Amino acid sequence: MYLCAMLKTTLLNAVEAGAKELRRYFNNEDLKISNKEGINNWVTEADHAAEKAIIDVIKAQYPDHFILSEEVGEIVTGSEVKWIIDPIDGTINFASGIPICAVSIGIEKNGEMVLGAVYNPFINEMFFAEKGKGAFLNDKKISVSKKSEVIHCCLVTGFPYTYLDMENGPLQVFERFVRKGVPVRRLGSAAIDLCWVAAGRFEGFFEHSLSPWDTAAGYLIVEEAGGKVTDMNGNKYSPYQKKLVATNGLIHDELIEVIHNRKQLG
């Protein structure tokens, strides 16, 4: 219990340290941007600055903890505690001056997510969850929505920048919903997508290609808000899997059936 309290304090301090760098670089005309492997896979000097600030806070308190972060990769230790960090989830939004982006940090202990925080400093929304203790937005408890039919829901998704020739790929699934009049949004930040499911703004989120730092914090926040998170086949989810479905729980099975084209909407 004491360890979790200490971890929570460090987690929130680390998130704020990263957010401070986001504020400093946001809408800076001289922001340095480069491209990683692939199309429009941007990284900015703000990503690196926020990541360094976050890791400095963690290492000052826990120098022996394992770290997995988007830009530096793995800092491997023998610790049972792993910090999974995305210094800016929604880098293209950030670099384009679009304030839909966030610092996202999840903490895994012995292979189980125990704490998560996602902070968008531009609209002042701090999402936080601790395993078994619920999910919160700015210290107010949140819960998923109560809608029970996909046709009446608002969904959110994301697209990889390279479209793979896969069965039920992102464009085909997207078309399946919008042709039936189901609103499907694309915000550009998986961490925020998950948090907005947790807050009841969306009923469901699905995406075909994600990394651990995209989802580690957000999926715990959804579960602690009463939602359900699985892979696209309905099996137990791990942030080390690429495909994800997160919902309020009530539409989960139906959403998966539509994604796999086993059920028609309307």
Secondary structure class of 239 (helix, strand, coil): coil
Specify the residue for token string 């012995």.
Answer: 110
The model carries a pTM of 0.95
Residue 115: which of 219, 248, 229, 227 has the closest Cα? Answer: 219
- What are the pLDDT digits (tens) for 142-185? 999 999 999 999 999 998 766 666 777 888 899 999 999 999 99
- What are the pLDDT digits (tens) for 200-233? 999 999 999 999 999 999 999 999 999 999 999 9
Domains of the chain (ranges, CATH numbers): 2-141 (3.30.540.10), 150-259 (3.40.190.80)
Q: Which two tokens stand for residue 238?
A: 């791990």
* ∠ CA 21-114-63, rounded to 5°: 55
pLDDT of 252 above 80: yes
Mean pLDDT score of the chain: 93
